[in-house]
Amino acid sequence: MTAFDGLLWIVFLGSLGTIVVIAKQKAPQLSIVDPMSSKEARTRETKNALLEERMMRQVEEKGKNVWKTSVLPIVKSVQEWFRRLAGKLTALERQYVERQKTGKIDAGELHRMTDEAKKSIVLGKYEDAEKELVAVLSHDPKNVQAYEALGRMYLSQGQHAEAKEALEFLVKLAPKDASVLAALGEVFSAEGDMKTAYGFYEKAKTISPNNPKYLDFFITAALEIEEISEAKKSLEHLREVNPDNQKIAEFEEMIAEKK
């Protein structure tokens, strides 16, 4: 028996009890108006039989009225409630199935989504980019590219706290990723904390020593915190790996001013 069937039985039994009470109250009245109740017409046994039959007809009629006016509306209400509940459960089940289907996104699709987000960032469509990157991370919580893109986007918007949060978490996932370390250095540099920025640039430069960009960041930070000797060494290395770098002359002038 289902929960719904049980509820119907409870309603029916309650209604039946009401009908019985009504029947008992009406029994004396039935004996008075019964035309066949005279001693001359019927024996007591026959009278009782007729009385019982009349009472049952009354009970049946009362039962129909109670069913129409009291029980039936309740039953319909309960049926409607169950239908609505079943509809909601069916919808939830469908959503779950769809999530299961859409949840299986391969690495290629995630890479495409990340690239689309980066394009949106370039175009200044930050809200679209954020939604795309969050979607990527919902499928792949350890996606380094998505975290870095998100951190750099926040940095470009001046949202340093959000950028730092994303990139510091990313450093835990990819502690030897030079690009991530440099990006975090940029956040601290934007906040004016050049000493901390210098430390991240140094790590990035150590991992990728011939990257002109990281050498540029490192030399700039080194000069800011008066690490002149380190700035000189890195400048010499920059000349070797990228002799046409336009910032070499600028760095030479800045070092000369520090002497």
Q: How far apart are CA 217 and CA 231, in angstroms?
A: 10
- The predicted model scores a pTM of 0.58
What angle is formed at CA 227 by the lines to CA 221 and CA 233, rounded to 5 degrees? 90
Residue partners of 232: CB distance under 8 A and separation at least 6: 255
Tens digits of per-residue pLDDT, 140-182? Answer: 888 999 999 999 999 999 999 999 999 999 999 899 999 999 9
Q: How far apart are CA 67 and CA 26, in angstroms?
A: 19
Q: Say yes or no to pLDDT of 17 above 90.
A: no
The predicted structure's pLDDT at residue 244: 93
